[in-house]
Structure 1
Amino acid sequence: MAVESIAKTLGGGSGIDTTALVQSLVDAQFETRNATLTQREETLTAQISAASTHKSNITGFAGALTTLSKSGTLSTQPTSSNPGIVAVSRIAGADLTALNAKIEVRQLASTQTTASTPRPSATTAVGRGTLTLTFGTATVANGAMTGFTPGSGTPVNVTIDASNSSLDGIASAINAAKAGVTASVMTDSAGSRLVLKGASGETRAFTLTATETPGHTGLAALNVGIGASGTTIGSAAADAIVAVDGVALKRDSNTISDLVPGVKLDLVSAQAGTIVNLGKNSPSTSLVQAAQDFVDTYNEVFAALNTDLDPITGALRQDLAAKTLKRQLQQLTLTPIASGSDNVPTTLAQIGIQTNRDGTLSLNTTALTTALVNYPEQVEKMFAAANGTATTANGLAAALGSISAAAASTTRGLGASVLNYTRAKTDISEDRADALEKAEALRTRMTRQFASMDAKVAAYKSTMTFLEGQIDAWNKAD
């Protein structure tokens, strides 16, 4: 008989609700174990949540600080007295302590640009053959090239055949050659023109010479060079001429990074005789704000961590990785984060970021302001990134990043704690399934035992009823 059928008939002989009795007996036997598993599962859930939260807190804190340190707002920035002539920006990692220069832009760098005579269509064949680009130095007057000296580079040949003999095809073929000349087709009411543009700098002038295929002539109309009549030179290739503190120098670009140490110059316009003064702007206000923001965020992260490390109620009170994170945070203000000679501040504590008795931080703005006055470059090194990345040379972001990396580690950090707690929770699920299986087995066994007992009781009752009937019959016969 199936267990379900047995359960339905249990108690029929004895009159006892044996189904409820079996359920009570099974529940009593497994109640303690189930309660233990439930409590352990709740504890692990809290530990997973806490460890994940603090790992996220510290990595978010470190990431935000690194982003701020790279933003440039915490670094000394160069200034220009006339951005309409020279715009300036700081080169990553630059030391602008001694920045002070006078700039005169006498000439801007320019590119050679040419345009062919208009043609009725950009898709009609021009001719076939080979176009040769040669680079060098040119003399240009009134839109025509009057002199050209080839450079040392190898000329570039561009093949023009039936597949690309239109202006559109020729422009695509020149661009595909990647020779340093950009080709395009410009169209207006007069027709379509082949427009060529080289790179800036006087040595990047170019000629374009056609070698035509017999029977398919026409490419020569696109020639660029001395005596070419089919094209016009709109602008000539030229170097920028910049005087730095009175010394005139040439560069082939209007973006220059090697004239003033630590500063990128963007030449906007040429105004010979006008002097532009370069100076610097200290980020003192931004550094004070950054220090205060750091302290506030640190205290939030530390307070949350401290709560979960409470020796009585803390979810992570026995977690070694969480304790290590707290210890590392507490050591942060005393850890040297910038190199320096004697009496030069190298720690946060030395510039006014102090540790309180309860482990939180506070900012002594007077001490920080004094440090900014006496050691501005050193304080900047502590907060602002050098060379675009946080390094030990300006190591607050690096120091916090190191702590974050250790906390995120899946070997010894909170990352490992999350994995361990998760595995333990999976094991509980398996233990719970095992307990359920054993409970069902016990319920089945006890159900069968009580069914057997109940059947015997029913048989005894039947026999008793028979005997009572016989005795009653005998008594009546007498």
Structure 2
Amino acid sequence: MAISSITNALGAGSGVDVAALVGSLVDAQFANKTAQLTNQSATITKQISGVSSLKSGITSFASALTSLVKGGSLATAPTSSNAGIVNVSALSGAKLAGLSASVEVRQLATAQVATSTPRPDTIAAVGRGSFTLTFGTAEVANGAMTGFTAGAGEPISIPITAGNSGLSGIARAINAAGAGVTATVLTDSAGSRLSIKGATGEAKAFTLTATEDPEAPGLSALNIGPGGTTTIGTVAKDAIVAVDGTALKRPTNSIGDLITGVKLDLVSASVGTTVTIGSTAPTASLSQAVSDFVETFNQLNSAIKEQTDPVTGALRSDAAATGLQRQLRQLTLTPLSTGAATGAPTTLAEIGVRTNRDGTLSVDSNVLSSMLNKYPTAVEAMFADGKGASGNGISGALAAISEAATNVKTGLGASAMRYSKAQGDVASDQSDLSDAEAVMTKRLTAQYAAMDARVAAYKSTQAFLKQQVEAWNSSS
């Protein structure tokens, strides 16, 4: 008989609710183990959640601080007294405290632009053959190139075939060569012109010389160079910048090698106008950064305290979590810069970051203000970009803590793997327990089914005997 049929018939003979009895017996047998596994699963789930929360907290903290430091707002920045003539920005790793220089922009760097005479349309064939593009220095007068000296670079050949023999096709062929010039087609009521522009700098002047296919001549009409019919609209020139009175040339208007640590972006030429280049310390930004650091630290510290609480904390026995807490508590006393002047601060504690009795941090604004005024360079160095531990700034120190905390062998990464495995083991035990309950249920059901059948047989025999006795009594 199938188990379902047995269960439906149980109790028919004995009158006992055998299904409920079996269920109660099985539950009683496995109640303690079931509760134990359920509690273990709940505890591990909290541990996994706690580890994930702390890992996210420390990595986000370290990443945000690194981004802030790399953003440059915490470093001394160069200044220009006239941004309409020259803009300035700091180069990576620059130390600009005390920067002072004067700049006069006498000439901007320009690029040669050569434009052909108008043609009726952009599609009609000009000719076939090839162009030779050569870079060098040029002499130009009244829009005409009067002289050219080739540079050391190899000339570049640009083939012009039947498929690209119109102005548009020639422009495409020149651009496809990637030779350092850009070709466009300009159109107005007078017709279409081929315009070619090079890079800035006097050594980037160029000639374009046609070698014509005898069967399809015409390309020489687009020649650029002495004797050519194209117009030189803009002449290739170097920028001329006088730094502290010394005139220097550069091929571009973005210059990073004239003033140490500073990139100059030339905006306009103004002969006789001196622009003062100086620097400004990020006092307000550093003060705000310290306050933001303390606020974020306290949020993370609160989360760690909750997870490691000796009574209720899910991670109270987790060495990685308690190790993270210990490392963070030592952070205010960790040297963050090296080579500081005598008396200059090198730790957070020395610039007014105080550790309270409950482990939180607070800022003594008076001390911080005093340190920023007395030792701006030293405080800035503590927030300099760096990796690793001591001597590489607060972002480096915090990054080292984050890396250790999330390590998959000794940190929270290892804890996460350990708890995940434990959760899998509990799930396996719960599955085994469920199988054992099913086996016991089947066994007890079969036992009680057999008992119930015997009781039913006894009752049937009893009823028959009773009937016979009553029949005998009646006949007598």
Aligned match of 2:132:
132
Q: Evaluate the alpha carbon distance shift between residue 283 and residue 194 of structure 1 in structure 2; reply closer, same or farther with a 3 A threshold.
A: same
The yes-or-no answer on 1:6 pairing with 2:6 is: yes
Give 3-state SS (helix, strand or coil) of 1:259's partner: strand
For 1:309, the equivalent position in structure 2 comes to 308
Which residue in the other structure is 1:397 paired with?
395
**Offset at 1:91?**
0.8
Give 5+ residue unaligned stretches, structure 2. none
Instruction: Using the TM superposition, give the Cα deviation of residue 25 of structure 1 relative to its aligned residue in structure 2, in angstroms.
Output: 0.6
- 2:225, 2:362 → 1: CA distance? 72
Between 437-446 and 417-426, the greater mean CA deviation after superposition: 417-426
RMSD (Å) for aligned C-alpha atoms? 1.5
Instruction: Tell me how far apart the structure 1 counterparts of residues 472 and 50 of structure 2 sit (CA, whole Å).
Output: 84
Conserved? CA contact 1:111–1:237, under 8 Å = yes
User: How far off is 1:419 after superposition?
Assistant: 2.5
Alignment of 1:350-389 (within 5 A): 350-385=350-385
CA, structure 1 residues 88+61, in 2 after alignment: closer, same or farther (shift >3 Å)? same
Measure how far apart 1:340 and its partner are.
2.2
Contact 1:43 1:315 in 2 (8 A): yes
Matches within 5 A, 1:211-226: 211-226=211-226
Give the counterpart letter for 1:322 in structure 2: A
Matches within 5 A, 1:245-260: 245-260=244-259
Distance apart, 1:200 and its partner CA = 0.7
Paired AA for residue 131 in structure 2: L
Instruction: Name the CA distance, whole Å, in 1 between partners of 2:281 and 2:98.
Output: 12
SS at match of 1:180: coil
Could you say which residue in structure 1 is the equivalent of 2:54? Answer: 54
Give 1:337-348 correspondences, 5 Å limit: 337-341=336-340, 342-348=342-348
Equivalent of 1:472 in 448, 457, 470: 470
2:455 corresponds to: 457
Contact residue 122 and residue 167 of structure 2 kept, 8 A: yes
Alignment of 1:56-95 (within 5 A): 56-95=56-95
TM-score between both structures, scaled by the size of structure 1: 0.96
Provide, for residues 80-129 of structure 1, a one-character-per-residue CA deviation record: whole Å limited to 9, x for no partner: 11110111111111011231001001111110001001111111111011
Amino acid at match of 1:256: I
Distance in 1 of aligned mates of 2:69 and 2:428? 48
Give the whole-Å Cα distance in 2 for the aligned partners of 1:356 and 1:453.
Answer: 74
Calculate the TM-score normalised by the size of structure 2: 0.97
Partner of 1:163: 163
Deviation at residue 243 of structure 1 after TM alignment: 0.4
For residue 422 of structure 1, report the CA deviation from its aligned partner: 2.2
Q: Is the Cα contact below 8 Å between 1:104 and 1:272 reproduced in 2? A: yes
CA contact (8 A) 1:69 1:390 kept: no
C-alpha deviation, 1:384, in angstroms: 3.3
| Pair 1:430-2:428 in alignment | yes
Q: What's the secondary structure of 2:257's corresponding residue?
A: coil
- What CA deviation, in whole Å up to 9, does each residue of 1:160-181 have, x standing for no partner? 1112111111111111222211
* TM superposition shift of 1:72: 1.3
> What SS is found at the alignment partner of 1:75?
coil
Aligned to 1:269: 268
Q: Counterparts of 1:110 and 1:259 in 2: how far apart (Å)?
A: 19
Partner of 2:241: 242
Moved over 6 A (4+): none
Kept in 1: contact 2:382–2:394 (CA 8 A): yes
Q: Residue 122 of structure 1 aligns with which residue?
A: 122
Q: Secondary structure at the match of 1:257?
A: strand
- Structure 1 stretches lacking a partner, 5+ long: none
Q: Distance in 1 between matches of 2:21 and 2:301?
A: 54
Paired residue type of 1:244: V
CA distance in structure 1 between the aligned counterparts of 2:138 and 2:132, rounded to whole angstroms: 16
**1:218 is matched by which residue type in structure 2?**
G
CA contact (8 A) 2:388 2:396 kept: yes
In structure 2, the CA distance between the partners of 1:391 and 1:201, relative to structure 1 (3 Å rule), is farther
Aligned to 1:290: 289
Residue equivalent to 1:335: 334
Q: 1:467 Cα shift?
A: 2.4
1:33 equivalent in structure 2: 33
Structure 1 Cα separation of the partners of residues 253 and 393 of structure 2: 35
Alpha-carbon distance in structure 2 between the residues aligned to 1:284 and 1:61 = 22
Q: Percent identity?
A: 57
SS at match of 2:125: coil
Deviation at 1:194, TM superposition (A): 0.7
Task: State the 1:250 CA deviation.
Answer: 0.5
Partner of 2:36, secondary structure, is: helix
The 2-side partners of 1:76 and 1:298 are apart by 25
Code of the aligned partner of 1:186: L
**Separation in 1, partners of 2:11, 2:370:** 91
Structure 1 residues 10-37: Cα deviation after superposition (integer angstroms, max 9, x where no partner): 1111111111111111111111111111
**Amino acid in structure 2 at the alignment position of 1:62:** A
**Structure 1 CA distance for aligned equivalents of residues 280 and 128 of structure 2:** 60
| Whole-angstrom distance in 1 between the partners of 2:389 and 2:155 | 46
Q: Using the alignment, how far apart are the partners of 1:353 and 1:94 within structure 2?
A: 27
Partner Cα distance (2:375, 2:336) in 1: 15
For 1:318, the aligned partner's letter is: S
Displacement of 1:392 in angstroms is: 5.8
Change in Cα spacing, 1:382 to 1:390, as seen in structure 2 (3 Å) is: farther
Aligned-partner residue type, residue 294 of structure 1: F
Residue 393 of structure 1: CA displacement?
A: 4.8
Instruction: Give the secondary-structure state (helix, strand or coil) at the position aligned to 1:163.
Output: helix
Structure 2 CA distance for aligned equivalents of residues 166 and 383 of structure 1: 60
**CA–CA distance in structure 2, aligned partners of residues 394 and 416 of structure 1:** 27
Q: Measure, in 2, the Cα distance between the counterparts of 1:456 and 1:271.
A: 117
Q: Could you tell me how far apart the structure 2 residues matched to 1:356 and 1:77 are?
A: 34
For 1:189, the aligned partner's letter is S
Contact 2:98 2:278 in 1 (8 A): no
Query: What letter corresponds to residue 470 of structure 1 in structure 2?
Result: Q
User: Matched residues in 2 for 1:125 and 1:403: separation?
Assistant: 69
Partners of 1:451 and 1:394 in 2: how far apart? 79
- How many Å apart are 1:202 and its aligned residue? 0.7
Amino acid at match of 1:440: A
Question: Could you report, residue by residue, the CA deviation over 1:241-287 in whole angstroms, capped at 9, with x for unpaired residues?
Answer: 11000001110111000001111001111111110011111100110
Q: Is the 8 A contact 1:340 1:346 kept in 2?
A: no
What is the CA–CA distance in structure 1 between the aligned matches of 2:470 and 2:354, rounded to whole Å? 104
Alpha-carbon deviation of 1:476? 4.0
Kindly tell me: are residues 425 and 357 of structure 1, through their superposed partners in 2, closer, same or farther at Cα, counting changes over 3 Å?
A: same
Change (3 A) 1:391 1:34: closer
CA distance in 2, matches of 1:473, 1:158: 128
The alpha-carbon deviation at position 407 of structure 1 amounts to 2.2
Give the number of aligned pairs: 475
Q: Secondary structure at the match of 1:23?
A: helix
Query: 1:83, 1:360 → 2: CA distance?
Result: 44
| 1:258 partner SS | strand
1:18 paired residue number: 18
Deviation at 1:45, TM superposition (A): 1.4
In the alignment, the residues of structure 2 paired with residue 193 and residue 143 of structure 1 have an alpha-carbon distance, to the nearest angstrom, of 16
Deviation at 1:75, TM superposition (A): 0.8
Write the distance in 2 (CA, Å) between the matches of 1:223 and 1:190: 20
- SS of 2:330's equivalent in the other structure is helix
